[in-house]
Amino acid sequence: MTNQRVTAFELWTSTDDGTTWRPATVRAGDDGDFTAALPKPAAGQAVSLRIKVTADGGSGIDQTIIRAYRAG
């Protein structure tokens, strides 16, 4: 198996169970890592996440997680 390098990482967040999505700012690090600031929800509110990642070897992932985390 050959290691692949991630070439694109996109992230969106939703606070209404995926009815509307807002793009998150994603930053690529020097070592191939990616970071993004996630919203802090109001008390009891959940945040859903949607990601799309592609790699230079042709693989990728597109995944949606409804209610990925919530505020306590």
Q: What would the pLDDT profile of 28-50 be if each residue is shown by its tens digit?
A: 998 889 999 999 899 999 999 99
At residue 23 the predicted structure's pLDDT band, cuts being 50, 70 and 90, is very high
Q: Give this prediction's pTM.
A: 0.86
CB atoms within 10 A of CB 48: 19
The ranges assigned to domains in the chain are 6-70
* Spatial distance between the Cα atoms of 57 and 18, rounded to a whole number of angstroms: 30
* Spatial distance between the Cα atoms of 68 and 56, rounded to a whole number of angstroms: 28
